[in-house]
Amino acid sequence: LDSGTGQEVRRMLKTLTPQSIAQLLESSPPRIRQVLWNLIDRDVEGEVLQELTDEVRSQILDTLDTEEMVEIMEGLDADDIADILQQLPERVVSEVLSAMSETDRLRVESVLAYDENTAGGLMDTDTISVRPNLSLDVVLRYLRRHEQLPESTDSLFVINRQGQYIGLLPLSKLLTTDPSVTVREVVSTDVEPIPADMRDTEVAQLFEKYDWITAPVVDENNRLLGRITIDDIVDVIREGADHSLMSMAGLDEEEDTFAPVRRTARRRALWLGINLLTALLASWVISLFQNTLDKVVALAVLMPIVASMGGVAGSQTLTVVIRGMALGQIGRSNLRWLLSRELGAAAMNALLWSLVMGGVAALWFDDITIAVIIVAAMLINLIVAAMAGAILPVVLRAMRIDPALAGSVALTTVTDVVGFMSFLGLATWQFS
């Protein structure tokens, strides 16, 4: 990618779609990313920008001035422009908006009025709507006056004189019905309008459940504001699913895989610091039993096993519960059943593996007391772990703390403390 080959790369980039260029940028380290960006054709820059994840996009926006931004955003949809503007400082946003045409500005502003994680922030205002009293023939003639329909249009919206949403008119219906029929007779009311302030994750659940492709967004008076299409929803689903995975390791789902070293270090430092605190707590528990450890050194050898098995058993329960919550399956009514199922499964596995471990310990240290102690400690810790894994996410959610983020730290703290406490506590009681 040195200066000499710039022309070749530029030619190569010309053959790629905006989506492929965006993927290439996301898969490149920061320095190369900037070089590539400078080689992209001006007229695809906007589309490429729109395909990027928030974090990579904001890196690139940082290098642009207002004039370049206005130029780049020409030709993008209102929702995509709003998406980009939401990442810019207040001052830049008003500059960009004032440089836009009147209609474009109003459109973008109507999307910007909503939080980016709501239906209003996701919607596109570019809709085609018709009145119920028209005949399909009139609708067909009206459509034919358009150069083209907005992207992914598969339905028209039927609204009344006050602009209130009545129903959908799918294009396929329009094409298979006798043109003399009126819109009112064929309007489909299957798809319920989405309130503009509904959370994007809830909207995604509706789309997934009902296999929608387009859905109308309305204000509190049922007036049609815009539409949400499935391609925006796919991003929400992807991010939501990534959220659980990344949060459980203390990471952000928008995290750039190729973030520079300092930013990466800074972001992860906090999580490691929190973990150090919980590890110190576990160490303090161990230190309470120093006298016993001094007498029976075998305890120091075996104690990590009790803590580790509790951690693994608990994290299995935790993962199932967090996933079930993300899918909207877990509520008050079935929590008790789930908890007893988890306790039952944990009890069976605790019995199996603690007995195996007891046998190993008896043979290894030739000491039946230590074997009995580790069996008892594992039984206690695995059952507590299952309880904690099932209850912690529910409690955290009730406290409005993200269970995917805080769950695993909280769980490890419990399983370490209980693991060391039960094993060394029982040993102290036996050996002193």
User: Which residues from 165-224 bind its own copies, rule CB under 8 A?
Assistant: 171-178, 207-211, 213
Q: What secondary structure letter does DSSP report for 62?
A: T
Q: Which member of 43, 137, 185, 294 binds its own copies (CB under 8 A)?
A: 294
Whichever of 231 and 366 has its CB closer to its own copies, that residue is 231
Closer CB to its own copies, residue 265 or residue 368?
Answer: 265
User: Would you count residue 363 as binding its own copies (CB under 8 A)?
Assistant: no
Residue from 337, 398, 400, 432 that binds its own copies (CB under 8 A)? 337
> What part of residues 413-432 is at the interface with its own copies (CB under 8 A)?
416, 420
Cβ nearer to its own copies, comparing 100 with 376: 376
Question: What is the DSSP track for 303-361?
Answer: HHHHHHHHHHHHHHHHHHHHHHHHTT---HHHHHHHHHHHHHHHHHHHHHHHHHHHHHH
Q: Which two tokens stand for residue 104?
A: 């474009």
Q: Is 334 in the site for its own copies (CB under 8 A)?
A: yes
Q: Is 23 in the site for its own copies (CB under 8 A)?
A: yes
Q: Which is nearer to its own copies, 64 or 271 (CB)?
A: 271
Q: What is the closest distance, in whole angstroms, from the C-beta atom of residue 141 to its own copies in the complex? A: 10
- Nearest-approach distance from CB 189 to its own copies, in angstroms: 13
Give the C-alpha separation, 217 to 341, whole Å.
41
Neighbours of 316 (CB within 10 A): 17
In the list 16, 70, 222, 258, the residue contacting its own copies (rule: CB under 8 A) is 258
The window from 8-16, 74-82, 113-121, 252-260 that contacts its own copies (CB under 8 A) reads 252-260
Fill in the DSSP letter of residue 5: G
Amino acid identity, residue 13?
Answer: L
Residue 219 gets the label, from left (phi > 0), alpha (psi -120 to 50) or beta, of beta
Measure the CA–CA gap between 112 and 242, rounded to whole angstroms.
Answer: 25
Q: Does 37 bind its own copies (CB under 8 A)?
A: no
Whole-number minimum distance, CB 348 to its own copies, in Å?
Answer: 4
Which window, 6-14, 84-92, 157-165, 241-249, contacts its own copies (CB under 8 A)? 241-249
Structure tokens at 367: 């000491």
**Count of Cβ atoms closer than 10 Å to residue 249 Cβ:** 12
Chosen residue from 2, 62, 147, 220 binding its own copies by CB under 8 A: 147
Pairwise CA distance, residues 108 & 74, whole Å = 12
Our CB check for its own copies shows the closer of 68 and 294 to be 294
Asked if residue 276 binds its own copies (CB under 8 A), the reply is: yes
**Would you count residue 246 as binding its own copies (CB under 8 A)?**
yes
Beta carbons within 10 angstroms of residue 250's beta carbon: 17
Q: Return the residues of window 46-105 that contact its own copies according to CB under 8 A.
A: none
Residue 164 in contact with its own copies, rule: CB under 8 A: no
Which of 13, 16, 26, 431 lies at the binding interface for its own copies (CB under 8 A)? 26
Whole-angstrom distance, CA of residue 293 vs CA of residue 424: 8
Contact between residue 307 and residue 282 where contact means Cβ atoms under 8 Å apart: yes
For residues 173 and 153, what is the distance between their CA atoms, to the nearest angstrom? 13
